[in-house]
Amino acid sequence: MTVGAPKLKGQSSVETVEVVMPDGSVRAFPRGTPLSAIAEAADPALARRAIAALLDGVEKDIYWPLEGGGRIEFITPESPRALEIYRHTTSHLLANAVKDLFPEVKIGIGPATEEGFFYDFERREPFTPEDLERIEARMRAIKERDLPIRRIEQPKEEALAYFRRLGDNLKVELVSEKGGPVVSCYRQGEFMDFCTGPHLPSTGRIGAFKLLSLAGAYWKGSEENQQLQRIYGTAFPTDARLQEHLRLLEEAKKRDHRKLGPALDLFSVEETAGPGLIFWHPNGTIVRQVMEDFWKEEHRRRGYQMVTTPHIARDELWRMSGHFEYYRENMYTFEIEESGYVIKPMNCPGHSLIYKSRLRSYRELPIRYAELGTVYRYERSGVLHGMMRVRGFTQDDAHIYCTREQILDEIKGVLDLVITFLKTFGYDRYEVDLSVRDATHPERYAGNADGWKMAEDALVQALQSRGLSYTRREGEAVFYGPKIDVRMFDAIGRPWQGPTVQFDFNLPQRLGIQYIAPDGSQTPVVMVHRAIYGSLERFVGGLVEHYAGSFPVWLAPVQAVVMPITDRTRDYAREVQRILRQAGLRCDLDERSEKIGAKIRDAQLKKVPFMLIAGDREAQARTVSVRSRREGDLGPMGLLAIRDRMVQMNAGRVPGP
């Protein structure tokens, strides 16, 4: 068994190893030197702040003994990697507190997440909000004890025996399945958990934290397993960062599309029909159609051809494409006349069949097929989430078939399209990932080394030509090719999954997708998948939260509402509505016998961009009193003036009001 760093005996006789220090210098240290001592040698101030280390890019506990040479870096509270360590350590603190207060509880898993952390527990009685308060208080007490947190490496059987003695059957199962011959655990005081780490060196180093909510969760995410109780929390190195995060969480609640969507009559999920299926209401359908019209306009302008493919196809097609083998568990299948069929889970095989419907010459390439195609995929009910995670959705799919010589220009064109869409919808901040294969395991990927190099080079050159910085993600490519993924950041700084561009070496090979080259030979095409919205459902859900439901004029379901003050001005109000509608604007008329203040409040709640008030004075002067959702009272404006202003904002896709 290994616990922490071993004591050194006679360092003069101990073998030394060379380490590349953070400043680039090379220094020799005795093998077994704690990494904290190396930090002290580099900079005492750094040593006081360091919470973990990176040795040749591999995370290590700060107290762990140096086992071999390499480049060393130190993780401090400000480092990008630090947050995960704080949160993971705090999840162990949560489990420790729960076991102290409720010894009968069985503990499951407790990972860090993008938003914080969670831990799953098996307990007969449900946790209550009052329990959360007690647990959080216990966590603070354990933190104050400043218990050392130490990694323990032991034979697998010893770890299994330990958790069996405790009766923690979930941990026994995890160690049995995931543990190697030597198992790593982390101990703080009397509490020990199975984990690969790393962690903070003591409970006293844990920063600010807060328990947030309770939820149910199935063991290992499978509905066939027992249901557990999940406690969510979040943690940060400082209280200031925690408080800012909690403020953003409150803001996020106000923007939650699952509340705003139904409130604005955009969509609903109907229990009678089943979970994960979106019903678009009239207002939501307007938003969707405006987005579709914009999408079609931009794609036609860039040489894409619109296609439409069936919603079902024989399972033989999906076996040929390889999807049946890799995605069978996510497909809906059924039989017709003793033949197996699949409800379409993706559009690419259908587009490829259209391409293959006749021989194609190199003179026809590139061919760009685009479709707003509705697809269906099985998702567990526990992961369904409003419009963000559904079972039926519409992909804005397109597939490009071209030659190797054309691919760079095609990728550039896709990136230009991506940037156009991001700017149009007000996503001013975004980040780009380049996901490439793990070159040490080529057997995991379709295609050959030359093809992968060509694809990666094309993606890199295209990104560089557009001045887009990116993060290279080694080993995160899909099996059929490298890809570019874009994360969009909304108005309160949250990332959303955005556009994607993917090479595909698999489908051309499996389906024999070729073209006739100048020399008459049949040559495999270069195939690219790309989506800008990704799915209309997810994109609209994100837009609702990005805009907090206050869509810009061009997207708003109702762009203006006309409000007559008295019955005498109803005819004039109807004329105003008619003139605006004739100009192509979406204008409603509020003829209710309500005071004008109530009408204005209702329009504000519905987040209508413009309120046009028509009284006797306005009718006589052929004006309207204009109130903007964003700017407030704008005073009287001529009827044609407000019409032209709104037409201009609509046509120009102006971001406000």
Dihedral in degrees, nearest 10, Cα atoms 207, 110, 472, 58: 80
- Based on the residue annotation, tell me whether 259 is a catalytic residue of this protein: no
- Paired tokens of 487: 């994360």
Of 279, 337, 330, 334, nearest in space to 312 by CA: 334
Determine phi and psi for 306, rounding to 5 degrees: -80, 135
**Residue 399 annotated in active site:** yes
Residue whose pair of structure tokens reads 């360590």 in the numeric block: 85
Residue of 315, 335, 312 whose CA lies nearest to 323: 315
Instruction: Give bridge partners of residue 209 from the DSSP assignment.
Output: 235
The residue annotated as part of the active site, out of 299, 529, 629, 643, is 529
* 94 vs 141: CA distance, rounded Å: 11
Q: Is 303 left (phi over 0), alpha (psi -120 to 50) or beta?
A: left
In the annotation, is 397 catalytic?
yes
C-beta atoms surrounding 12 within 10 Å: 5
Contacts of 48 (CB under 8 A, 6+ apart): none
Q: Is 348 a catalytic residue?
A: yes
**Measured in whole angstroms, how far is the alpha carbon of residue 565 from the centre of its chain?**
47
Beta-bridge partner residues of 356 = none
**Dist CA 53 CA 36 (whole Å):** 9
Q: Which entry of 315, 396, 397, 485 is annotated as an active-site residue? A: 397
Do the bridges between strand 278-280 and strand 522-524 make them parallel or antiparallel, or are there none, so unpaired?
A: unpaired
Looking at 230, 377, 538, 606, which residue is catalytic? Answer: 377
What is the sign, positive or negative, of the torsion defined by CA atoms of 41, 45, 47, 48? Answer: positive
Q: Is 360 left (phi over 0), alpha (psi -120 to 50) or beta?
A: beta
> Which member of 395, 502, 559, 577 is catalytic?
395
Q: Quick check: 102 and 216 in contact, CB under 8 A?
A: no
* Cβ pair 556, 646 in contact under 8 A: no
Answer yes or no: are the C-beta atoms of 106 and 167 closer than 8 Å.
yes
Nearest CA-CA partner of 19 in 3, 35, 40: 35
Could you tell me the two tokens for 75?
């993780």
- Active site (annotated) includes residue 402: no
Q: Which of 348, 485, 587, 590 is catalytic?
A: 348
Catalytic annotation, pick one of 391, 483, 606, 607: 483
Catalytic residue among 344, 399, 437, 538: 399
Point out the residues that are catalytic. 348, 377, 395, 397, 399, 483, 529
